[in-house]
Amino acid sequence: MQVRKAVIPVAGLGTRFLPASKAIPKEMLTIVDRPTIQYIVEEVVASGIDQIILVTSEGKSAIENHFDYNFELDTILKEKNKMDLCEQVCNVANLIDIVSVRQKKPLGLGHAIWTTRNVIGNEPFLVLLGDDLVQSKVPCCQQMLNLYGEVHESIVAIQHVPKNETHQYGVVEGTALRDRVYQVERLIEKPPPGTTDSDMAIIGRYLLKPDIFELLEKTTPGHGGEIQLTDALLALAKRRPMYAYEFEGTRYDAGDKLGYLKAIIAFALQHPVLATEFRRHIKEVAADL
Ligand code: UTP
User: If we measure between CA atoms, which residue out of 44, 84, 49, 87 comes closest to residue 69?
Assistant: 87
Question: Strand, coil or helix: what is 40?
Answer: helix
Is the distance from CB of 83 to CB of 114 less than 8 angstroms?
no
The response to whether residue 106 sits with its C-beta less than 6 Å from ligand 1 reads: yes
The response to whether residue 25 sits with its C-beta less than 6 Å from ligand 1 reads: no
DSSP of 182-223, one letter per residue? EEEEEEEESPPTTS----EEEEEEEEE-THHHHHHHHPPP-G
User: If we measure between CA atoms, which residue out of 170, 227, 230 comes closest to residue 198?
Assistant: 170
Q: What is the pLDDT along the chain (289 residues), one digit of tens a residue?
A: 899 999 999 999 999 999 999 999 999 999 999 999 999 999 999 999 999 999 999 989 999 999 998 899 999 999 999 999 998 888 888 889 999 999 999 999 999 999 999 999 999 999 999 999 999 999 999 999 999 999 999 999 999 999 999 999 999 999 999 999 999 999 999 999 889 999 999 999 999 999 999 999 988 877 777 888 999 999 999 999 999 999 999 999 999 999 999 999 999 999 999 999 999 999 999 998 8
Distance (Å, rounded) from C-alpha 154 to C-alpha 171? 16
Is the distance from CB of 51 to CB of 97 less than 8 angstroms?
yes
Task: For the chain, list the domains and their CATH numbers.
Answer: 5-288 (3.90.550.10)
13 CA from centroid of ligand 1 (Å): 6
154 CA from centroid of ligand 1 (Å): 22
Specify the pTM.
0.95
106 CA from centroid of ligand 1 (Å): 8
Angle between helices 71-79 and 83-93 (to 10 degrees): 160
Question: Strand, coil or helix: what is 248?
Answer: coil
Query: Number of helices and strands (H, E) in the chain?
Result: 11, 13
65 CA from centroid of ligand 1 (Å): 20
- 108 Rama sector, left if φ>0, alpha if ψ -120 to 50, beta otherwise: left
Residue 223, burial from CB neighbour count under 10 angstroms (0-12, 13-18, 19+): middle
Is the distance from CB of 163 to CB of 199 less than 8 angstroms?
yes
Is the distance from CB of 166 to CB of 199 less than 8 angstroms?
yes
- The residues near 216 (Cβ < 8 Å, ≥ 6 apart) are 110, 111, 113, 114, 227, 229, 232
For residue 108, the ligand 1 atom closest to its alpha carbon is 28
